Amino acid sequence: MSSPPSVWISVYLFPPLAAVVLWAGLTILVAGLNRRGPGPGRVALIVSLPLLALAHHQMWLTSADGSVLGSYRAFVAGSAIWAWHELAFYCGVLTGPWRAPCPSHARGFTRLGYALGTHLFHELAVVVELGLMLWLLRGGTNPIGLLVFGLSWAMQHSAKLNVLLGVPALNVELFPPHLRYLGSYWRRRTPRGFFIPSLSIATVLAIMLWSAAHTHELEPAGVRLALLASLVSLGAVEHVLLALPGRRVTAGAPTVGAPNPGE
């Protein structure tokens, strides 16, 4: 028996649409601020502190709300908190002790260590954030915000590890000057051995979540699962895009690995 149109709209249309619009909007916002330099991003980071607090408050309010509306509120809250942490990294507030290009002699785990040094404070902030979320959601039944934050972190780091090992699609000409040094940790070449397992895990997880959403499509849980499935599906698509042939660096573009002016 086929599902009624209302179920298809609520489970198979609105969640993917919401995930794409929110993901694209927050990505454009963070990228747009970073293209203008670290200053505007830092101002936006401070100005958005009340919104960050509001997002945490929404997670707490919806911790026991299993309704469809509660799921969307938690999804937006988790996405907004992740976007704030991303902005904090890219505008240079929460980065790491190492803010320079990768040394030319670094190979293997040494290179990985330098790469981690560019993110260390960001990673510690994520751990603190996860602890705060667990405390806010203690005893709750709606962990969507926490799962959105955790999945966003996992998929981003999977993508970062792939670009560290090497992928074809690296548009390094899009780097703003204050992030130019990060390009020295990337490699433009055919995907390495980690690519297939990481893409496979993301794809299988997305399929499992969509399957579970289908099983519970007549319940609010179906919407929650569809929101998570949409997020993981976007992560899988992002991995596929990394494997596409990359564009050449255009003339006049920032030189990969060049020191950040003013550092």
pLDDT by position in tens, the chain (length 263): 456 778 889 999 999 999 999 999 999 999 888 888 889 989 999 999 999 999 999 999 999 998 999 999 999 999 999 999 999 998 989 998 988 888 888 888 888 888 889 999 999 999 999 999 999 999 889 999 999 999 999 999 999 899 888 888 666 666 778 887 887 888 778 887 889 999 999 999 999 999 999 999 889 999 999 999 999 999 999 999 888 875 443 322 322 232 332 33
Give me 75's structure tokens.
């999804």
Residue listed under structure tokens 């919407």: 223
C-alpha closest to that of 192 among 134, 239, 225, 156: 239
Q: What pLDDT does residue 173 have?
A: 63
pLDDT for res 3: 67
Asked if residues 3 and 222 have their Cβ atoms less than 8 Å apart, the reply is no
Give the pLDDT confidence score for residue 260 in this predicted structure.
32
Question: What would you measure as the largest C-alpha separation in the chain, in angstroms?
Answer: 65
pLDDT at 156: 92
Whole-angstrom distance, CA of residue 84 vs CA of residue 51: 9
| Chain-centre distance for alpha carbon 118 | 17
Q: List b or e across 195-223, with b for residues whose CB sees 16 or more CB atoms inside 10 angstroms.
A: beebbebbbebbeebbebbbeebeebbbb
Alpha helix ranges (H) inside 137-219 = 144-165, 195-215
C-alpha 34/C-alpha 195 separation (Å) is: 28
Q: What gap in Å lies between CA 166 and CA 83, rounded to an integer?
A: 25
* CA atoms 174, 24, 33, 86: torsion sign: negative
Cα(136)–Cα(130) distance, rounded to whole angstroms? 10
* CB neighbourhood size of 113 (10 A): 11
